[in-house]
Amino acid sequence: MDAKRIAAEQAVNYIHDGMIVGLGTGSTAYWAIQKLGSRVQEGLRIKAIATSVQSEDLAKTLGIPFIPFSEINEIDITIDGADEVDPNFNLIKGGGGALLREKIVAAASKQLIIVVDKSKLVNRLGAFPLPIEIVTFGYDLTIRKLQLLKCEPKLRMIKNKIFVTDNGNYIVDCLFHEIENPEELHNKLNLIPGVVDNGLFVNMTRRVIVGSLNGDIQEHENKNG
């Protein structure tokens, strides 16, 4: 079985009757949503909030019921993927362009469970270009400001068109190579006018589940997350 699928299905074991569940985005979260769909069809009673239109559409086809933010203050557990995970449980997310909704949902969650294969584990964040969501107004200027933080910024394109997020914004992928202090960089980036949010998730993760092709599963718990 696929390593991402093994990790994602293991995470679904943490979901119980009555929970509000945050649904992540991407090819690993896909397997968690599929498994959750099967469990709902078997009688599990949960309500969901999704981090992207894509995940919401998938979950709805599987019969997973939704609850609006207006009716809740907290999410019990969110299961999501990541692009990089460091030994301090800090993440780079947003490879799929859903980082803003992912962060809003993660911040509202009592527990964020990250599901990955081994390729996502790194000693230091930054080899994966950091996705940054920016508003469309003045975006050229915002990109030049990002460049001053010593990254190589690239406006995300898809089929020769600028990629637009579910929130109507653009994404800039910023290659830093090595991020020495994720928290400091996170705060600096979010102070630039035009930046909505960035894909650094600093100390938000409670548990990282790592799947392997041979079926092995490793779980790492962050006691402070």
Catalytic residue annotation: 102
Q: Which value, in Å, is the radius of gyration of the alpha carbons in the chain? A: 17
Sign of CA pseudo-dihedral 3, 175, 164, 68: positive
Q: What is the contact mask toward ligand 5RP in residues 6 to 35, using x (rule: CB under 6 A)?
A: ------------------xxxxxx------
Task: Determine contact, residues 96/156, Cβ cutoff 8 Å.
Answer: no
Asked if 95 touches ligand 5RP (CB under 6 A), the answer is: yes
Task: Give the shortest CB-197-to-ligand 5RP separation in angstroms.
Answer: 12
**Distance in Å, CB of 45 to ligand 5RP, minimum:** 26
What is the distance between the terminal CA atoms of the chain, rounded to a whole angstrom?
29
Rank residues 25 and 78 by Cβ distance to ligand 5RP and give the closer one.
25
Pairing of strands 217-221, 161-162: unpaired
Q: Does 3 bind ligand 5RP (CB under 6 A)?
A: no
Q: Which is nearer to ligand 5RP, 49 or 99 (CB)?
A: 99
Handedness of CA 76, 80, 83, 88 (dihedral sign): positive
Please state the closest distance from residue 54 (CB atom) to ligand 5RP, in A: 9
Closest separation in Å from C-beta 213 to ligand 5RP = 15
**Closest among 76, 28, 21, 70 to 50, alpha carbons compared:** 21
Q: Which residue ranges make up the site for ligand 5RP (CB under 6 A)?
A: 24-29, 80-83, 93-99, 102
